[in-house]
Structure 1
Amino acid sequence: MELTDAGPVVLLAVLALVVFGLVVAGWPRWGSRVGRAVVRGVQVVLLNVLVLALAGAALNDQYLFYSSWGDLFGSRSTSVQVHHGGTSPEVVSAPVSGPGLRGVAAPAVLPPLPQPGSRLQTYTVVDSRSNAEGQVYVHLPVGYDPRSSRTYPVILGLHGFPSGPRGFLKLDFLSSVDALTAEGRLAPSIVVVPRIDTPASLDTECVNGGAGQPQTDTWLAHDIPAWTVHHFHVKQTRTSWATLGYSYGAWCAASLSMRHPDVFGAAVVLLGYFRPDFSAAYDPLTAASGRGYDLVTMARTAPPPVAMWVLTSREDPLSYPTTSKFLSVARSPLDVTGTVLAHGGHRDSVFTPYVPAALVWLAQTLPGFRA
C-alpha cells in the first residue's frame, strides 16, 4: 500500500471510527473500575493519534508533502532517494509506437565540420517544417573522426530560460561527460545543445503552438534529431538517445522523452517541473489541447516506457510541487529514479553536484551509453 494511495486514508478513517465507537459504547464494561479507566484512557489517546494521522494523510493526499513511505521516513535526511514505476529492463524491451529515427537515412558522406579539429562545433540550423532557426552547439567525443564508421550515442542538452546554448556550456555538463568517459564509466557520447526557443525571446515551454506559432516540440523531437543524423555518425536506436536539462530545460527534457519515447529512451531532469509554466504573455494551449503536455496525468494514465532520473528540492517552489505529484503517480513501464533534497532553492549550485551521478545512472540504464 503506497503512501499516496487512497488506502492509508481509508484505513485510518475506519480505525478512527472503530475506536470512536468503542469509546462511545463504553467498552469494555467488565473488569475493575481502575482497569476500565486505564483502557478508556488508552482508547482516547489512540483516537487522537488516529485523527491526527488521518488529518495528515488527507493533507498529504491533497498537497503531496511526501511522495512515498521512503520519502516520509527519510524526511529528516538531507536527501532521500526514491524509485517509482518499472525497471530498466522493461524500458529497454518495451515496444513503442512511432518511427523514431529508423526512417532517417544517414548520408553516405557526411558534411564537413565547420571547425575541423575542434571538439566543439557551432552551427546555425534552419528548418522549414517547424519554421525555426537557431544556434546549435555539438560537443564531440575524444577521437571522433568523420571518416570513421563508428557511431555514438547522443545526449540532447537543454538550457534554461532566459538563457541559451552557451548557458548550458558554461556549466559542468561537458566536463562531467569527459571525466566519466575517461574513467570508462560512460560511453563516448555526442552532446547536442540546441537553442530551445525560436524566437529566442519567447518562452514556448517546448510545446507546439497553433497555426503560425512556434512548433518547438517538433523542432526538438524531430528536426534536431534528424539534422544530427545527417551531420554526425550517431546510433539511431532509442536506447542510445537521451535528453538532459535543468530548470526549464529539464521540463523540456521530461516532455520530449515522455511524448516521444520512440526517439528518446531516457531523460535527466534537474530541478524541472511536469506541467507547462507559461508566462502571462504567451499560452498557446487551450484546456483541451494542453492535456497532452500534462506529464503528471500521463504518468498516471498512460506511462510510456522511458527511464527518468529526477532531482528536486523541497525548498524549490517551481520544481517541487509538480515533481512530487509526478513521483507519486509514476507507474510501470515508466521507470523513475528520484532524489529529493531537503534544502536548496532553484539555482545552478543545487543541481551541479549531482550531474556525475545522473550520467552514471544513464550509463547503467540505457545500453547505448554503457562504456
Structure 2
Amino acid sequence: MGLTSNKVLTLAVLLAVLLFVGTIWLWPRLARQSWKAITGRVGLLIATQIAIFASIGLSANQAFGFYATWADLFGQETSPGVVVDHDPAKGEGPVKVLDTQPVNVPGGSRPATGGQIQKVDIGGKASNIASPAYVYLPPEYFQPQYKNRKFPASVVLTGYPGTAEALIKGLHYPQTAHRQAASGKMQPMILIMMRPTVAPPRDTECVDIPGGPQTETFFAKDLPTAISGHYRVGTKADNWGIIGDSTGGYCALKLAMHHPDRYAAGAGLSAYYKAPIDVTTGDLFHGDKELEQRANLNWYLEHMPPPKTSLLVSSSKTGESNYHDTLKFIDKVKAPTRISSITLDSGGHNFNTWRREIPATLQWISGRLSDN
C-alpha cells in the first residue's frame, strides 16, 4: 500500500488505538518490579508512542503532500533524472503520456463530462531536463464542438518539497477548475501540475544554476513549447499563466516577471520574493552577482523595466510571515505591470489557506488569458 493511501492511515490509527487500549488494560499486570514487567511497560509505551506519531505523520503528509511514496520518504527516490534529452527529431515528442485517470467530480469517469488527468513526462531540449507532471484537460477538450479550439493553459507549482500529486489530492486544482468553469466563473483551461524543482531532492528555486540544472530555461522555454506541441494550447503569452504556492509562488512571480513574452499572468500564493540559500538549495548563483540580483524580485522591480504582465499575490494579516513583504512588493510595482492581491484576515502557510484562495486565483488568471 502506498504512503498516501487512506488504508495505510486507517491501519496506523487503528494500531495506535489498540495499543493505547492495550496499555491501559495490561498496565496493572505489569505493575510489578521484575525486569520482565519493566520491559513490558517500556515496550508498550514505546510502541504506543511510535504508532501515535506515525498516525500524526501520515495524516500531516496527506494534508500537506510532503512525500509521495515510501521511497521518497526514506530518500531512495532518485528519478526523474536530470540531463535527459528528449529530441523530437528522433521520433518521440517531448511529452510522453504515461497514464490517465478520471477527475473526482460527478460523471468523472467520462472525459467529455469530467475531463481527464494525464500523467506525463516532459522533456526539455534547451535545458536538457526531463520532469514528470500531471496535465488536467477540461471536459470541453473532449467534446466534438471544441475539436478545433485551442485552450489557455496554466502551469501550477507546488511548494518545496511538495509533490505534484498534492495539487490534485490536497489542493484539488482539477476539481476546483471543473467546478468554476461549469458555473461560468472561468473559462475552460488546461493545468500543468508539477514540482518547482526539476532536480529533486535539490531545491533549485527556478534558477538557471551555473554548471547545474537550468530550471528557469525549462519553465520559460521547454515546458510551454512541449505542451503546445502536444496539446491544443496556443503559443502566445496571452495563452499562458503560472500559479504556485510558497516556493512555487516565488517561481510563478519570477517567471512571469522575467518572461512576459511567455507568461501573461503569474500568481504567487504565500510567496516570498527572494531566493533563499540553505542546505536544500546549495550555491544557486556561484558568485554571479547579476544572476543573484535578478532572482530578487524587489530588486528587479526597482532596477529593471517594468514587465508587461499581470501579477497576483496573496497573504494574511495573521498567520503569514510574508504579509509586510507582500505590501512592500505591491508598492514597488509600476505600469505596465498590473498587480492584484488576496488578503485574508487570518490563515497560515498551509493547504487550508491555499484552498480558500485557489477559486479566486483561477478566476483571476482565467480573466487574463485568451484562447486565441
What TM bracket, shorter-length normalisation? 0.5 to 0.7
TM-superposed deviation, 1:278: 2.8
> Whose Rg is larger?
1
Structure 2 SS opposite 1:222: helix
TM-superposed deviation, 1:318: 4.6
Q: Which residue of 2 is the match for residue 140 of structure 1?
A: 137
TM-aligned CA distance change 1:201 to 1:114, over 3 Å: closer
CA contact (8 A) 1:120 1:140 kept: yes
- Alignment TM-score, normalising by the size of structure 2: 0.64
TM-superposed deviation, 1:313: 2.2
Which deviations, in whole Å up to 9, do the C-alpha atoms of 1:254-285 show, x marking residues without a partner? Answer: 01111110010001211011111232451322
> Is the aligned partner of 1:202 residue 2:198?
no
TM-superposed deviation, 1:359: 1.7
Q: Which residue of 2 is the match for residue 237 of structure 1?
A: 236
Q: Which residue of 2 is the match for residue 274 of structure 1?
A: 273
TM-aligned CA distance change 1:288 to 1:114, over 3 Å: closer
Q: CA separation in 1, counterparts of 2:278 and 2:320?
A: 16
CA contact (8 A) 1:206 1:252 kept: yes
Count of paired positions: 262
TM-superposed deviation, 1:329: 1.0
Q: Which residue of 1 is the match for residue 193 of structure 2?
A: 193
CA contact (8 A) 2:126 2:221 kept: no
Task: Give 5+ residue unaligned stretches, structure 2.
Answer: 1-87, 101-110
Q: CA separation in 1, counterparts of 2:127 and 2:95?
A: 22
Q: Which residue of 2 is the match for residue 160 of structure 1?
A: 159
Q: Which residue of 1 is the match for residue 54 of structure 2?
A: none
- Alignment TM-score, normalising by the size of structure 1: 0.65
Which deviations, in whole Å up to 9, do the C-alpha atoms of 1:5-28 show, x marking residues without a partner? Answer: xxxxxxxxxxxxxxxxxxxxxxxx
Q: Which residue of 2 is the match for residue 123 of structure 1?
A: 120
Structure 2 SS opposite 1:300: helix
Q: Which residue of 2 is the match for residue 350 of structure 1?
A: 353
Q: CA RMSD in A?
A: 2.7
Q: Which residue of 1 is the match for residue 249 of structure 2?
A: 250
TM-superposed deviation, 1:224: 0.8
Q: Of the two structures, which has the highest relative contact order with CA contacts closer than 8 Å and spacing of 6 or more?
A: 1
Structure 1 SS opposite 2:367: helix
Q: CA separation in 1, counterparts of 2:309 and 2:125?
A: 29
TM-superposed deviation, 1:291: 1.1
Q: Which residue of 1 is the match for residue 295 of structure 2?
A: 293
Task: Give 5+ residue unaligned stretches, structure 1.
Answer: 1-103
Amino acid in the other structure paired with 2:292: G
TM-superposed deviation, 1:367: 3.8
* Paired residues for 1:50-65 under 5 Å: none
TM-superposed deviation, 1:209: 0.4
TM-superposed deviation, 1:201: 0.4
TM-aligned CA distance change 1:321 to 1:207, over 3 Å: farther
Q: Which residue of 2 is the match for residue 228 of structure 1?
A: 227
CA contact (8 A) 2:95 2:123 kept: no
TM-aligned CA distance change 1:360 to 1:277, over 3 Å: same
Which deviations, in whole Å up to 9, do the C-alpha atoms of 1:116-165 show, x marking residues without a partner? Answer: 76711111223343232221111101032499322100010111111121
Amino acid in the other structure paired with 1:228: I
Aligned-pair identity (%): 26
Structure 1 SS opposite 2:253: helix
Q: Which residue of 2 is the match for residue 360 of structure 1?
A: 363
Q: Which residue of 1 is the match for residue 63 of structure 2?
A: none
TM-superposed deviation, 1:342: 3.8
Q: CA separation in 2, counterparts of 1:322 and 1:231?
A: 39
